[in-house]
């Protein structure tokens, strides 16, 4: 499992001594943390290698969350929980909460999930500000 490491603050790929830094250089948990965040920052259907008729990568922001006249916490929980469980090696979502500010158009997704590699299971807890997604 090797993905390009992306600096969380600058959103740039990282080059060390002329070589691209991979998430696998930093371990399984960093790889999974970045894959989870990438999934939550992807609108369902935007990934060019995904099946264009039946996309599976990303969150159905348009298809389900924003098509509801009044999105509820229950609906958001279901949508984000399902999206998290589509990430390979994510085995459970233990906690999921949201910070919503409608005036500032802010949505932060807080998550805690279990990830498994072989027989080893670990927990990842983080948050993703999905407010910047171009919806």
The domain that contains 107 carries what CATH number? 3.10.450.40
Domain that holds residue 114: 15-129
> What 8-state DSSP symbol labels residue 30?
H
Inside any domain, residue 70? yes
- Chain centroid to CA 62: 16
pLDDT of res. 95: 97
Inside any domain, residue 134? no
Inside any domain, residue 100? yes
Q: What's the distance, Cα to Cα, between the start and end of the chain in Å?
A: 30
- Confidence at 107, pLDDT banded by 50, 70, 90: confident
Inside any domain, residue 8? no
Sequence-separated (6 or more) residues with CB below 8 Å from residue 114: 90, 91, 92, 94, 121, 122, 123, 124
* Count of domains observed in the chain: 1
Chain segment 22-31, per-residue pLDDT in tens: 888 888 999 9
Token pair for residue 41? 């920052």
Token pair for residue 54? 């039946």
- Confidence at 36, pLDDT banded by 50, 70, 90: very high
Query: Structure pTM?
Result: 0.84
β-partners of residue 116 are 121
Residues in the chain: 135
Going across the sheet that includes 106-117, the strands are: 90-101, 106-117, 120-129
As a whole number, mean pLDDT of residues 70-77 equals 85
């Amino acid at each position: 499992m090797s993905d390009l490491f992306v600096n969380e603050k600058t959103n740039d790929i990282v080059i060390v001594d002329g070589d691209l830094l991979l998430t696998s250089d930093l371990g399984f948990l960093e790889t999974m943390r970045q894959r989870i965040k990438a999934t939550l920052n992807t609108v369902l259907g935007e990934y060019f290698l995904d099946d264009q008729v039946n996309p599976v990568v990303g969150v159905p922001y348009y298809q389900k969350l924003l098509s509801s006249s009044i999105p509820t916490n229950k609906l958001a929980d279901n949508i984000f929980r399902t999206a998290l469980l589509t990430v390979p090696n994510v085995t459970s979502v233990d906690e999921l909460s949201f910070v919503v500010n409608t005036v500032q158009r802010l949505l932060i997704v807080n998550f805690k999930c279990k990830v498994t590699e072989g027989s080893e299971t670990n927990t990842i807890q983080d948050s993703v500000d999905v407010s910047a997604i171009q919806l």
